Amino acid sequence: MFRFLVPGGLFVCSFFAHASDSAEPMQNSEYQITCPGRPTMTVTHAQYGLTTILWAGDNFQIASGSQQSRTDNGDKVAMVLFRNGDQMVMNQSTNETFFSFNGKKSLVSCSRTGERENSTVTLQRTDASGKVES
């Protein structure tokens, strides 16, 4: 009987956990964008405004925060500036994504996959000697 209660209990817990998560915005999410001039990139938005991009060849860039603005017709846009000079512009009203490579002024239009939740990794805290703190 115990074999049936545990999986059933886990299923019910996971159902309610998923149902409660759907009401809250995703804190950590990822999606892919494909832009002319570069292989498909995986974009990750994490808590506290951290954004990363990863593409083929172990290329990885990081950005902190975003600048908020509006287009002439009032659409909200977010601009993310990566450490290598790349810039991603997201029209939050239409969900369109644009990219500028390495500080160039021209934007290219990118196709974008749907956003999905990305799990959070919690690291153990250690002291200066490397011992795990409790």
Give the tens place of pLDDT for each residue, 113-128. Answer: 887 887 666 667 788 8
Q: Is residue 1 part of a domain?
A: no
Q: Is residue 12 part of a domain?
A: no
Q: Is residue 54 part of a domain?
A: yes
Q: Is residue 22 part of a domain?
A: no
Domain that holds residue 90: 29-115
Within 10 angstroms of residue 42's Cβ, the number of other Cβ atoms is 15
Q: Is residue 5 part of a domain?
A: no
Which residues are 78's β-sheet partners? 68, 90
**Phi-psi group of 111: left, alpha or beta (phi > 0 → left; psi -120 to 50 → alpha; rest → beta):** beta
Q: Is residue 10 part of a domain?
A: no
Q: Is residue 62 part of a domain?
A: yes
Which residues are 92's β-sheet partners? none
Q: Domain count of the chain?
A: 1
* Closest by CA position to 55, among listed 78, 84, 94, 92: 84
Using one digit for the tens of pLDDT, what is the confidence trace for 40-84?
999 998 878 899 999 998 899 999 989 999 989 999 999 999 999
12/25 Cα distance (integer angstroms): 22
pLDDT > 90? residue 32: yes
Q: Is residue 20 part of a domain?
A: no
